[in-house]
């Protein structure tokens, strides 16, 4: 059936067009989108709202909205002691904190819980997903931690047949205005990190289920839920007490398409301002900038300049992300572990 062949072609013809999961230029600001092992990595509840409008000027180009939130459970990076002493005849409470690197302070493992909701629309196809995530963070030394995480949720693919122009209007796949298919999404990840470097591997949609968009036993499902694999890493170079450079990368693989790598370089000033750029081979150059306003809020922006053949039609891509820090008792402005 022509609609099924068309969809199979769209979803299997080159990585940028074929990847079933959304693409993000601001991946360096929220690696949680690709790796559940990051769940609960900070000392506060990390909430992020992001929007991406890809390939401006091309009808039906991808538009993505996501909401993520994750928090630590039983994390004690700072050893806090409450003491009482007399001052002018009155009892006064004083709080003494000792850093995690103190030789007398034992670093303990902790857990993380979170969830991610995404909605991605490309032409007539809409993908929505909701995933719950869990991670276990284990100290392997006083400066390095290793985390393992998992995600589980549901993916719903729907096709609005009213947006399709077909030669055969009697195609049974067009019998309803919307065709929907619900799938289980499972993911795994590992993440190693310290104050000076991070890196990880992860997999999503690795159940590799077949999707059939019509309820007809005589039709064999040809379109498969593709496993996606991610490898990422980076490190931080302190140039001065106020200036740091953070090179990082993200490699994505969704077979049968070839691997694609984003290379990012970001400069951070005074833990508040950052500017940088990303190169995605045969696709785009990206300019990024952002500002950590205070211990409660920050934002980032990215603009892609298309370098592929789509640049004849596209006016680039825009992406924004808003970061909110809840229950941030230590008043952290720049994230401690994800810069």
Task: Tell me the per-residue pLDDT of 125-182, one tens digit each, with 9 for 90 and over.
Answer: 899 999 999 999 999 998 999 999 999 999 998 887 766 666 655 665 555 555 778 8
pLDDT at 327: 94
Question: Is residue 169 within 8 Å of residue 184, measured between CB atoms?
Answer: no
Task: List the structure tokens of 339.
Answer: 């810069």
Strand-pair category, 110-122 with 223-224? unpaired
pLDDT at 76: 77
Question: Is residue 238 within 8 Å of residue 2, measured between CB atoms?
Answer: no
3-class SS of residue 184: strand
Task: List the structure tokens of 29.
Answer: 């600001």
Could you give the CA distance from residue 98 to residue 104 in angstroms, rounded to a whole number?
9
Tens digit of each residue's pLDDT (9 = 90 or more) over 40-75: 999 999 999 999 999 888 888 899 999 999 999 988
pLDDT at 199: 97
The residues, ordered by sequence, that sit 6+ positions from 322 with a Cβ below 8 Å of its Cβ are 48, 49, 50, 297, 298, 299
Going from the N-terminus, what domains does the chain have, and what CATH number goes with each?
A: 2-75+110-326 (2.40.160.40)
Could you give the CA distance from residue 137 to residue 192 in angstroms, rounded to a whole number?
9
pLDDT at 50: 96
Q: What are phi and psi of 336, to 5 degrees?
A: -70, -35
Task: List the structure tokens of 84.
Answer: 């009482």
Could you give the CA distance from residue 188 to residue 33 in angstroms, rounded to a whole number?
12
Task: List the structure tokens of 328.
Answer: 């941030």
pLDDT at 262: 95
Task: List the structure tokens of 324.
Answer: 């909110």
Could you give the CA distance from residue 258 to residue 75 in angstroms, rounded to a whole number?
39
Could you give the CA distance from residue 335 to residue 42 in angstroms, rounded to a whole number?
7
Could you give the CA distance from residue 287 to residue 301 in angstroms, rounded to a whole number?
8
* List of the chain residues with pLDDT < 50: 1-17, 79-82, 95-102, 104, 221
Dump strand ranges (E) for the chain: 45-53, 63-73, 79-87, 90-98, 110-122, 125-139, 145-160, 178-193, 197-204, 210-211, 223-224, 228-235, 237-238, 243-253, 260-269, 273-280, 284-292, 297-306, 317-326
Question: Is residue 85 within 8 Å of residue 92, measured between CB atoms?
Answer: yes
Could you give the CA distance from residue 60 to residue 51 in angstroms, rounded to a whole number?
16
Kindly state the percentage of the chain with pLDDT values over 70. Answer: 75
CA atoms 41, 42, 48, 52: torsion sign: negative
Q: How many CB atoms lie within 10 A of CB 242?
A: 11
3-class SS of residue 47: strand
pLDDT at 313: 84
């Amino acid at each position: 059936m022509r609609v099924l062949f068309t969809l199979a072609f769209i979803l299997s013809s080159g990585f940028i067009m074929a990847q079933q999961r959304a693409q993000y230029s601001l991946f360096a600001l929220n690696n949680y989108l690709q790796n559940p092992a990051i769940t609960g990595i900070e000392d506060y509840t990390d909430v992020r709202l992001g929007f991406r409008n890809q390939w401006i000027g091309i009808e039906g180009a991808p538009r993505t909205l996501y909401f993520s939130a994750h928090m630590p459970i039983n994390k004690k990076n700072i050893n806090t002691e409450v003491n009482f002493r007399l001052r002018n005849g009155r009892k006064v409470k004083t709080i003494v904190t000792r850093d995690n690197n103190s030789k007398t302070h034992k670093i303990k493992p902790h857990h993380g819980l979170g969830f991610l909701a995404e909605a991605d629309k490309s032409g007539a196809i809409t993908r929505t997903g909701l995933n719950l995530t869990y991670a276990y963070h284990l100290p392997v030394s006083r400066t390095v931690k290793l985390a393992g995480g998992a995600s589980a949720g549901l993916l719903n693919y729907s096709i609005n047949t009213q947006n399709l122009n077909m030669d055969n209007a009697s195609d049974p796949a067009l019998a309803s205005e919307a065709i929907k298919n619900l799938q289980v999404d499972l993911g795994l990840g590992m993440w190693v990190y310290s104050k000076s470097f991070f890196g990880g591997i992860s997999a999503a949609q690795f159940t590799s289920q077949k999707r059939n968009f019509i309820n007809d036993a005589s039709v064999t499902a040809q379109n498969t839920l593709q496993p996606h694999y991610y490898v990422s890493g980076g490190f931080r170079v302190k140039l001065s007490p106020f200036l740091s450079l953070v090179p990082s990368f993200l490699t994505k693989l969704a077979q049968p398409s070839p691997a694609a790598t984003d290379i990012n370089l970001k400069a951070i000033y005074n833990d508040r301002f950052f500017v940088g750029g990303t190169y995605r081979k045969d696709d785009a150059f990206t300019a990024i900038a952002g500002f950590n306003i205070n211990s409660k809020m920050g934002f980032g922006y990215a603009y892609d300049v298309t370098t592929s053949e789509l640049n004849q039609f596209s006016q680039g891509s825009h992406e924004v992300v808003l970061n909110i820090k809840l229950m941030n008792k230590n008043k952290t402005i720049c994230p401690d572990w994800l810069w």
